[in-house]
């Protein structure tokens, strides 16, 4: 197991040097900060549809029609030349810069603990699928080498997909460079990625068992880098309405309060999957309930069992299920109670203001809930709405993976 937090280095200074292929030099610990997606405009129904597609769940008819209407409006805006004046609803609010190749090419990617592919827009992506994204060009890298016969494909619930070819190249995150890391260069890209001009790709932080490269799976960047870290651990300190940070190799005691409560992870399917122990709404009594879910930094909303969600919105004046929006909506001026999620011995309190995700109308009168039902997904998804309320430790110790939860200053 990873030692208790008090034994960890409390800074992110270099921890000495050493040599180990394919990573040089040995670093020990480091921190990377998110950057804002400057064109982001929150849209709850779009986030819900995106999450359902990501996990192969069906999109309700009303929500599907809503998304089709939005896509049609985008096309019309481009055709009329008004797209610049009417920014699109971008999917990812915060991104993280990484460097690929020699000399380094910087791309901004979504750190996603719900997937295990490192894929990026590339010089091989069709021009009409690139709407301002930075692209990785292997021909401009002295260290790029194509993996002959290898390909990758991520298929979504609507049967759309992103796919491409595979290169090995140097990939730097923070102070660590992994040489020969599999970089999946996109040759086709789904519309949901094309329309976000600031998001250049995905950086998978789930377990390598989810990697889609074939005929032979590839290790994630973290699995390669872990051997050069002081501890095989990374932490997420995500923030409400501002950029957060990820630490690698260290649990920084200054970022949380009290003790860290750990719970075992079932990584057999490649996810950071764990059991939850119950919930409460506002000042109500904690209700024991057993349900399973995954910690997913690449998902914005929190998707929970239908009864749990129903119990929450019973406490919200004017809340109702909206067929066209695909989930619960409520008056934007409604007072939302806190939601407490039981995780092992810990109880994570999510402030009500976090659950008020975003307006669905121009007037700002009706808002979309950050907590929605996980119907048809097969498990709950603990996305950023919930993760922002805690300091979260992703401990990948071989054979003993676990998640740690601690309170922090919100």
User: What does pTM read for this prediction?
Assistant: 0.85
Residue 307 has pLDDT above 60, yes or no: yes
What average pLDDT does range 174-185 have in this prediction?
Answer: 94
Q: Mean pLDDT throughout 9-13?
A: 24
- Whether residue 283 is predicted with pLDDT greater than 60 in this model: the reply is yes
Domain boundaries of the chain, sorted by first residue: 5-40+89-237, 256-407
Radius of gyration (C-alpha) of the chain in whole angstroms: 21
The residue from 110, 196, 237, 296 that is catalytic is 296
What is the predicted pLDDT for the residue at 235?
Answer: 95
Instruction: Please confirm, yes or no, whether 296 is among the known catalytic residues.
Output: yes
The neighbouring-strand residues paired with 234 are 248, 394
Which residues touch 392 (CB under 8 Å, ≥6 apart)? Answer: 235, 236, 237, 238, 295, 403, 404, 405
Say yes or no to pLDDT of 367 above 90.
yes
Q: What angle do CA 232, 387, 332 make, to 5 degrees?
A: 165
Q: How many helices (H) and strands (E) does the chain have?
A: 7, 25
SS3 category, 301:
coil
β-bridge mates for residue 407, sequence order: 257
Same fold for the pair 5-40+89-237 and 256-407: yes
For residue 105, pLDDT over 50 is answered with yes
Asked if residue 157 has pLDDT above 70, the reply is no
CATH architecture under which domain 256-407 falls: Beta Barrel (2.40)
Q: Residue 269: which of 111, 374, 163, 379 has the closest Cα?
A: 379
- pLDDT at residue 199 is higher than 90: no
Give the SS3 label for residue 131: coil
Q: pLDDT over 70 for what percent of the chain?
A: 84
Q: Which of the pair, 85 or 307, is modelled with greater confidence?
A: 307
Q: Supply the mean pLDDT for the chain.
A: 85
Angle between helices 61-80 and 44-54 (to 10 degrees): 110
Q: Has domain 5-40+89-237 been given CATH number 3.30.870.10?
A: no
- Mean pLDDT, to the nearest integer, of 271-276? 97
Residue 194 has pLDDT above 50, yes or no: yes
Residues composing the chain: 410
- What is the structure's pLDDT at 1? 34
């Amino acid at each position: 197991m990873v030692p208790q937090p008090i034994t960890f280095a409390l800074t992110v200074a270099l921890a000495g040097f050493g040599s180990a292929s394919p990573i040089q030099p040995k670093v020990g610990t480091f921190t990377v900060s998110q950057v804002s997606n400057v064109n982001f405009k929150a849209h709850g129904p779009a986030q819900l549809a995106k999450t359902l597609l990501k996990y192969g769940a069906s999109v309700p008819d009303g929500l599907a029609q809503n998304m089709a209407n939005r896509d049609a409006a985008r096309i019309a805006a481009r055709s009329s030349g008004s797209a610049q004046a009417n920014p699109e609803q971008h999917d990812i609010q915060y991104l993280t810069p990484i460097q690929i190749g020699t000399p380094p090419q910087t791309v901004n990617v979504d750190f996603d603990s719900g997937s295990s592919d490192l894929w990026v827009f590339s010089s091989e992506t069709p021009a009409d699928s690139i709407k301002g994204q930075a692209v990785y060009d292997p021909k401009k890298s002295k260290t790029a080498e194509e993996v002959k016969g290898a390909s990758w494909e991520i298929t979504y619930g609507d049967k759309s997909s992103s796919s491409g070819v595979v290169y090995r190249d140097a990939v730097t995150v923070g102070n660590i460079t992994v040489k020969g890391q599999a970089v999946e260069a996109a040759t086709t890209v789904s519309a949901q990625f094309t329309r976000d001009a600031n998001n250049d790709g995905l950086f998978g932080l789930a377990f390598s068992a989810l990697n889609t490269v074939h005929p032979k799976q590839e290790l994630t960047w973290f699995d390669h880098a872990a051997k050069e870290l002081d501890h095989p651990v990374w932490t997420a300190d995500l923030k409400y309405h501002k950029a957060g940070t990820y630490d690698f190799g260290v649990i920084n005691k200054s970022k949380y309060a009290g003790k860290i409560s750990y719970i075992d992870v079932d990584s057999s399917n490649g996810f950071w999957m764990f059991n939850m122990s119950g919930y409460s709404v506002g000042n109500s009594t904690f209700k024991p309930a057993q349900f399973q879910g995954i910690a997913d930094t690449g998902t914005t909303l929190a998707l929970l069992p239908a009864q749990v969600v129903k119990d929450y919105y019973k406490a919200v004046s004017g809340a109702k299920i909206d067929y066209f929006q695909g989930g619960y909506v409520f008056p934007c001026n409604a007072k939302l109670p806190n939601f407490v999620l039981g995780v092992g011995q810990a109880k994570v309190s999510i402030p009500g203001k976090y659950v008020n995700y975003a307006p669905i109308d121009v007037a700002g009168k009706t808002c979309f809930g950050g907590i929605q039902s996980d119907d048809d997904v097969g498990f709950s998804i603990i996305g950023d709405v919930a993760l922002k309320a805690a300091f979260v430790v992703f401990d990948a110790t071989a054979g003993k993976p676990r998640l740690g939860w601690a309170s922090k200053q919100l």
